[in-house]
């Protein structure tokens, strides 16, 4: 009986028969924008996009005449964005869709790094089940939102090798210490995962063929500066032997996009701005306030309506 209920709930989630992400849309957007059927821009992404303090707010300020909806969801990837898009397309007709990727996590999310020797039984079980039952990661996401988490900008006084470093980063380190190195070298399981990512993104675009698509990838902090690479190596990651913005991905993405899709380039601009001040949190691989501002400036400058 429990299995039947779980399968039914999984189907309801996958087909978004109820608004599983309605609270995110309500939190990040005005009532006026949400009540408009035809919108100028729908923004999809993960925790770099979600929230009122993300670059999307700056886009709304830069283009006040445009109707822009932030549909970002924290801690998600292409799988969940498909469900969010499905929900949004029932209510809106976007003329443009801006997709934010973060391949450093996105590829891992397509196939969690299960490691029964290094990680707990519960974590491996969760990752194993979550790969097939997508409702489970959603429930974990909802439950995590009930916990009082730390503020990223409050961690600047802690030891770099301490347990207070970003939990997800440390967990991936324990599960697969060479994953960043293998991603950059296009080695191990990552060619297969990258191919799957491209296929899933193509399927995502087919859900809204009438919209003009735009995509950008957030560079991992180790792609931006030597200081971040040294920091990650001190945590225990394998030696990261690559120069700033010289990695094969995400530059390779552009060659796979159709002609109508705009690829917004960020890495060189972020690397240049990083020289003047840090753009990422010290103990978390997310963009800080300055990083979000630079990101918004680059999108505004390059975006083609």
Report yes or no on 5 lying in a domain: no
Phi and psi based region of residue 157 (left: phi greater than 0; alpha: psi -120 to 50; beta: remaining): alpha
Question: Structure tokens of 130?
Answer: 């979550």
pLDDT in the model for residue 158: 36
What is the helix (H) or strand (E) element at residue 217, kind and residue range?
A: strand 212-217
Report yes or no on 1 lying in a domain: no
Report yes or no on 13 lying in a domain: no
Which of residues 215 and 145 earns the better pLDDT score? 215
pLDDT in the model for residue 213: 98
Q: What is the pLDDT of residues 62-113, one digit of tens each?
A: 999 999 999 999 999 999 999 999 999 999 999 999 999 999 999 999 999 9
Mean pLDDT computed over 48-66: 97
Percent of the chain with pLDDT over 90: 77
Which of residues 146 and 214 earns the better pLDDT score? 214
Q: Which of 82, 146, 75, 138 is nearest to 109 (CA)?
A: 75
In the predicted model, is pLDDT for residue 25 greater than 90? yes
DSSP states of 28-95 as a string? HS-HHHHT-SEEEEEEE-STTT-STTSHHHHHHHH-TTS-EEE---TT--HHHHHHHHHHHHTT-EEE
Instruction: Give, in order, the Cα–Cα distances in Å from 164 to each of 88, 145, 174, 178, 257.
Output: 36, 18, 15, 21, 39
Q: How many CB atoms lie within 10 A of CB 102?
A: 22
Report yes or no on 3 lying in a domain: no
Mean pLDDT computed over 146-151: 49
H helices within the chain, ranges in order? Answer: 2-14, 22-28, 31-34, 55-62, 78-89, 103-110, 121-130, 135-144, 167-175, 179-185, 190-206, 226-235, 253-256, 267-274, 289-302
Report yes or no on 14 lying in a domain: no
Specify the number of domains making up the chain.
1
Mean pLDDT computed over 202-220: 96
Q: What is the pLDDT of residues 8-23, one digit of tens each?
A: 999 999 999 999 999 9
Q: What is the pLDDT of residues 229-252, one digit of tens each?
A: 999 998 888 888 888 887 766 667
Report yes or no on 138 lying in a domain: yes
Provide the mean pLDDT of the chain.
90
In the predicted model, is pLDDT for residue 37 greater than 90? yes
Q: What is the pLDDT of residues 268-298, one digit of tens each?
A: 999 999 999 999 998 899 999 999 999 999 9
In the predicted model, is pLDDT for residue 166 greater than 50? yes
CATH number for the domain that contains residue 239: 3.40.50.1110
Report yes or no on 277 lying in a domain: yes
Report yes or no on 118 lying in a domain: yes
Residue 92 sits in which domain range? 19-142+157-302
Cβ contact 280:287 at 8 Å: yes
Q: What band does 147 get if pLDDT is binned at 50, 70 and 90?
A: low
> What letters, b where the CB count within 10 A reaches 16 and e where it falls short, cover 62-74?
beeeebbbbbbbe
Taking the C-alpha atoms of residue 176 and residue 170, their distance in angstroms, rounded to an integer, is 10
pLDDT in the model for residue 245: 86
pLDDT in the model for residue 198: 94
What is the helix (H) or strand (E) element at residue 215, kind and residue range?
A: strand 212-217
**pTM for the predicted model, two decimal places:** 0.94
């Amino acid at each position: 009986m429990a299995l039947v209920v779980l399968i039914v709930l999984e189907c309801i989630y996958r087909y978004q028969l109820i608004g599983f992400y309605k609270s995110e849309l309500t939190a990040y957007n005005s009532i006026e924008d949400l009540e408009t059927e035809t919108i100028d821009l729908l923004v999809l992404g993960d925790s770099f996009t979600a929230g009122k303090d993300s670059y999307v707010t700056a886009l709304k300020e830069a283009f006040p005449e445009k109707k822009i909806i932030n549909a970002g969801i924290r801690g998600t990837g292409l799988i969940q964005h498909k469900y969010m898009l499905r929900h949004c397309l029932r209510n809106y007709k976007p003329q443009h869709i801006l997709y934010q990727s973060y391949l450093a996590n996105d590829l891992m999310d397509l196939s969690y790094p299960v490691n029964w020797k290094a990680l707990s039984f519960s974590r491996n079980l969760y990752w194993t089940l979550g790969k097939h039952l997508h409702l489970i990661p959603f429930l974990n996401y909802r439950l995590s939102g009930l916990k009082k988490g730390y503020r990223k900008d409050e961690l600047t006084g802690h030891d770099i090798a301490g347990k207070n470093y970003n939990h997800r980063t440390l967990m991936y380190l324990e599960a697969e210490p060479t994953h960043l190195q293998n991603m950059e070298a296009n080695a191990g399981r990552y060619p297969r995962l990258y191919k799957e990512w491209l296929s899933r993104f193509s399927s995502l675009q087919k859900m809204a063929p009438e919209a003009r698509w735009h995509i950008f990838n957030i560079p991992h902090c180790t792609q931006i500066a030597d200081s971040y690479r040294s920091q990650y190596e001190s945590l225990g990651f394998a030696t990261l032997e690559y120069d700033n913005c010289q990695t094969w991905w995400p530059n390779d993405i552009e060659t796979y996009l159709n002609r109508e899709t705009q690829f917004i380039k960020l890495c060189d601009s972020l690397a240049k701005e990083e020289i003047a001040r840090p753009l990422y949190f010290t103990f978390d691989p997310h963009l800080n306030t300055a990083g979000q501002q630079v990101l918004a400036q680059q999108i505004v400058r390059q975006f083609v309506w």
